[in-house]
Chain A
Amino acid sequence: MKAKVYVTLKPSVLDPQGKAIHHSAEQLGFQQITDIRQGKYFELALDDSVSETEAREAAEKIAADVLANPVIEDYRVEIVQ
């Protein structure tokens, strides 16, 4: 089983890297892209004996404690079989 964890900056937090990337996208002619926010993506491999609920609990905990800094970031967990 796998858990996917997406970490993104809270909407209120400035993302200078995303802004710079967006600027490059505009220069490439992607005028229809109005904003880019950069985030992080993690893939967690879990032991097959783990239930989906346990996998979600573990991923949520590691996301809250380590992968994301709750002061500035939000996270979302997806479980894939």
Chain B
Amino acid sequence: MKFGVIVFPGSNCDHDAYHVISKHVGQPVDFIWHKETDLSAFDAVIIPGGFSYGDYLRAGALARFSPVMKAVKDFAASGKFVFGICNGFQILCEAGLLPGALIRNAGLHFISKHVTVRTENQYTPYTNELKEGSVLSIPIAHAEGNYTCDDATFQSLEENNQIVFRYCDETGEVTPESNPNGARSNIAGICNIDRNVLGMMPHPERACEEVLGSNDGRNIFRSLTASIAAATN
């Protein structure tokens, strides 16, 4: 089993993701420079957070044109796992691997704080070690995390159970007050129809150690590891 962490100019959570995979997941992991075009050595790739290309034009808009993204599309189409976190989620939306878009937070501010999210779908490769309704404490750190999409897209997300995480209060109640950025229907993370591509704004890789305030993020990486093991057996 091998993980890859894609590095764009301006990625800055690549080392956090690498650290979590090597130390807490205990699996081999390599960095993948964005000029790379061959992903055949990997079972899962993480598109980490940061400010790829300085967020020029729109967050994630220019990373879509990096050579590695063509390989990521083929990788996803072959059923392998692509996990976008924060800027990675923005890139996946811009690249058309996930529907919708992430726009400026409703309150305009860059928000950096711990939030709680509710697991809306436990039947994904990223949440199979969680229970539906499980509440996770995971930090967010973004200015463009306000998920938006048109009504038809939203309806199909709901019908296909593609909404994986929603912002909620500490008891798991999804309320307007617990929505930090104005995201439609409190959406914090979604997957594609095939379930192998996940994008989320919260940073589970920053929630894998008690000393950082939470280790709830480990459940997501543990789920993914189990899914890779099941897929490669």
The segment from B27-35, B99-107, B172-180 found at the interface with A is: B99-107
Q: Does B149 contact A (CB under 8 A)?
A: yes
A14 to B150 CA separation, bound complex (whole angstroms): 12
Give the interface size class of chain B. Answer: 20 to 34
Q: Is the CB of B57 within 8 A of A66?
A: yes
A67 to B101 CA separation, bound complex (whole angstroms): 14
A44 to B65 CA separation, bound complex (whole angstroms): 19
Q: Which residue of A lies closest to B182 (CB)?
A: A14
Q: Is the CB of B105 within 8 A of A16?
A: yes
By Cβ-Cβ distance, the 5 closest A-B pairs, closest first, are A71-B101, A72-B101, A16-B108, A16-B104, A16-B106
A13 to B94 CA separation, bound complex (whole angstroms): 16
Q: Does A20 contact B (CB under 8 A)?
A: yes
Q: Does B148 contact A (CB under 8 A)?
A: yes
A15 to B94 CA separation, bound complex (whole angstroms): 19
Instruction: Identify whether the interface residues of B are mostly helix, strand, loop, or mixed.
Output: loop
Q: Is the CB of A72 within 8 A of B148?
A: yes
Q: Is the CB of B100 within 8 A of A71?
A: yes
Q: With a CB–CB cut-off of 8 A, which chain B residues contact A15?
A: 104
Q: Which of A20, A66, A67, A71 has the most CB of B within 10 A?
A: A71
Q: Which of B93, B100, B101, B104 has the most CB of A within 10 A?
A: B104
Task: Show 11 residue pairs from A and B whose CB-CB distance is below 8 angstroms, ordered by the A residue.
Answer: A14-B146, A14-B148, A15-B104, A16-B104, A17-B108, A66-B61, A67-B57, A69-B94, A71-B93, A71-B99, A72-B101
Q: Is the CB of A69 within 8 A of B58?
A: yes
A12 to B152 CA separation, bound complex (whole angstroms): 14
Q: With both chains docked as a complex, state the minimum distance between the C-beta of B87 and any C-beta of chain A, in angstroms.
A: 15
Q: With both chains docked as a complex, state the minimum distance between the C-beta of A65 and any C-beta of chain B, in angstroms.
A: 10
Q: With a CB–CB cut-off of 8 A, which chain A residues contact B105?
A: 16
Given contacts A20-B108, A69-B94, contact A13 B57 (CB under 8 A): no
A15 to B148 CA separation, bound complex (whole angstroms): 12
Q: Which residue of A lies closest to B104 (CB)?
A: A16
Q: Is the CB of A12 within 8 A of B107?
A: no
Q: With a CB–CB cut-off of 8 A, which chain B residues contact A16?
A: 104-108, 146, 182
**Pick the contact of A71 from B104, B106, B107, B149 — CB < 8 Å?**
B149
Q: With a CB–CB cut-off of 8 A, which chain A residues contact B100?
A: 71
